[in-house]
Each structure stands twice: as structure tokens, then as C-alpha cells.
Amino acid sequence: MSNRRGRSVEVVRTSIPGASASYSAESAGEVVTALTQLGFDAEATVVNDQMDLRALLDRGPDLVWNGFAGNPIVPSFTGLLTDRGQRFVGSGRNAMWLSHRKDEAKSVVRQAGLPTAAWFRACPGDVQREADLPVDLPLFVKPHNGGGGGGIDSGSLVRRWQDFEARVATTSGAGAPAALVEAYLPGREFTVSVLPNESSTRLEAFAVELIAEADGGSARVLGHAAKLADREVVRRVPDEETDSTVCKLCMECFRVLGARDYGRVDFRMDGEGRLQFLEANLMPQPTWDSYFARACRLVGGLGYAEVIGRIARGAWARGVDA
């Protein structure tokens, strides 16, 4: 997609509470500004109901930049765009579903023979005694859906059985019907941004290492509050071998999840230094200070407008498919 062909782009978000994922107004505005600077005829659009959806589809922009997966009124926005043959930026319906169901994404990754820590889902009362735990302590308890570190803090790391039930109750009561419980991974943490290369012929990956503050002991938990306060260190992966390995593993996970166009994949090392898949965010907030854009800047040397332009041109080159 050159800046002259297919110029109209609508960056779509929703403001309805309960959306499975949505860009913020700030994110949509930054994308529109970047696209406008590149010469596209771009505008932000809010889709909250069927009337908004019909108006968007009737306008038929050359490209929809998909900034939300669905809300209670429009439950599968990506599916509707696909069914109408509308070109759009972002992964398709199946990959987006996996992006918001961390346990199912881990299942797909495991079935493909790729590494991810042992896990199980739990609701309050499911496990009656320590001997019945499917995975040994220590454990990491987090919501099975959502992103951005939501529902994660220092209490997510459960070392004692007597703390397990309370943490599951707190987590499953925070907007998630069940908690995702994983074997705790004490090693280094990484996030990898994926986007099209300059010529839109393939995808490439840029990895950064995330170093959270220690919790008073040896554990480092990167939760929502720490991310908002920007208390973590974000740096280029210092050793070439690890950088190459995590980028290769990221691309394999991206492929088996059926993802496309752009996204971010998170990994952590176990106690033996082996990388394990955590989750994939296939609709990361694309603000300039987000992990997604920071990795592109720190590792790829890409300016913000170039990042946005690559994604738009890559989606256009891909065309319309399921």
C-alpha cells in the first residue's frame, strides 16, 4: 500500500465497557496522526453498536485499522470484517480469540511442540488440598484473559498452599471467570515485537528484555502498577545468542497461533535458563511509549511513523483473507 493507493484508513475503537480489547482514544489518535503525516487520509472511528458498524461498512474505507476485537453488542468485530471482505489491519478471528484466552494459546503452543510452562485453570474451591495441585508450588496466578499486566502484582507469586485459595478467589473475581495458574518461572523476561519489514515481504522481530523491581527478595514481578509507573528497565537483549533464540521462538509462536501483521509475544526463562512462552498480545496499544513501539525503536531504530506505516502497508500487501 503506497501512500497514494488506498489512501483512506479508519482507525476503529470502541468505548463500550466490557470490550474484550480496545485501543484507547490516545492510541487511536497517535496512529491517525502518524498515518496523516505519511500522507494517508486517516481518521479515528468509534464503533459501539450495530448502527456504527453498518455506517463503517457502508463507507467502505480502503483499510480499517482494527483497534478492538469485540464488545457485548458487536461480539466479533474481526469476524464481521472478514465476512464482509473488508481489508483490515490485524489478526483474524481465531488468532484474536487465542490472544484473549491465554490458556488456549498455551495449549496451541504446547501442541506445536514449543515450550511453555505447565499450567491449569482454577476457580475457588476447585483444589481442596495441596496434594491435589496439578503443578507444584511455587505458582504464578493471573487472569486467563486480558493483558497489560492487569490482575498481576507481587501477590501473584504464591509460594505457600495457605495463600493459594485466596489468590485464586481474588484473581477469578477480577473480571475473569477463572484464574490461570502456571509453574513459576524465576528467570529473565522478554517481550518481542513483530511487524512487516520495509518491503512488506516478510515479518521481522525485535526483542527487548524487561527487568522488574525486586519485591524485597529475589522475585521480580512485572504487574500493572509497575508498568503504569514505568518502574521497570527495558533494554536491548545484551547477548546475541539469547536475542536470536527468543526472536526465532517468537516467530514460531506467531505462526502457530495464526497471527499476522503485527503483535507482541512475551517469554520468560525457567530456572534452567530455558525460554518459555507466556502469552501473545495481537492488539498491543501502539502508543510511542508502549513496549511494542519501544522495542522497534531500541532494536530496529524505527521512528514511530515508520512503524505505523510498515503495519499499514503490510496489511494492504497481504490483502483480504480469513
**What pLDDT, on a 0 to 100 scale, did the predictor assign at position 203?**
97
Q: What is the pLDDT of residues 253-273, one digit of tens each?
A: 999 999 999 999 999 999 999
pTM of the model: 0.91
CATH 3.30.1490 correct for 118-183: yes
Confidence bin at 251 (pLDDT 50/70/90):
very high
> 70-73: which pairs have CB atoms within 8 A and are 24 or more residues apart?
70/19, 70/20, 71/14, 71/16, 71/18, 71/19, 71/20, 71/22, 72/16, 72/18, 72/19, 73/16, 73/48, 73/49
User: In the CATH scheme, what is the code of domain 186-318?
Assistant: 3.30.470.20
Total Cβ atoms within 10 A of residue 250: 27
**What pLDDT, on a 0 to 100 scale, did the predictor assign at position 270?**
97
Give the Cα-Cα-Cα angle 72, 74, 78 (nearest 5 degrees).
120
pLDDT for 3 beyond 90: no
8-90 adopts what CATH topology? Rossmann fold (3.40.50)
Q: Grid coordinates representing 45? A: 472511528
Average of per-residue pLDDT across 276-290: 93
pLDDT for 311 beyond 90: yes
Q: What is the pLDDT of residues 230-240, one digit of tens each?
A: 678 999 999 99
Q: What is the pLDDT of residues 120-132, one digit of tens each?
A: 999 999 999 999 9
Confidence bin at 1 (pLDDT 50/70/90):
very low
Which stretch of DSSP H or E encloses residue 110?
helix 102-111
pLDDT for 228 beyond 70: no
How large is the C-alpha radius of gyration of the chain?
A: 20
Of the candidates 231, 256, 206, 76, the one whose C-alpha atom is nearest the C-alpha of residue 149 is 231
pLDDT for 152 beyond 80: no
Average model confidence (pLDDT) across the chain: 89
Total Cβ atoms within 10 A of residue 239: 9
pLDDT for 73 beyond 90: no
Average of per-residue pLDDT across 98-119: 96
**What pLDDT, on a 0 to 100 scale, did the predictor assign at position 216?**
58
Average of per-residue pLDDT across 191-205: 96
What are the boundaries of each domain within the chain?
A: 8-90, 118-183, 186-318
pLDDT for 2 beyond 50: no
User: Looking at per-residue confidence, does 236 or 155 come out higher?
Assistant: 236
pLDDT for 61 beyond 50: yes
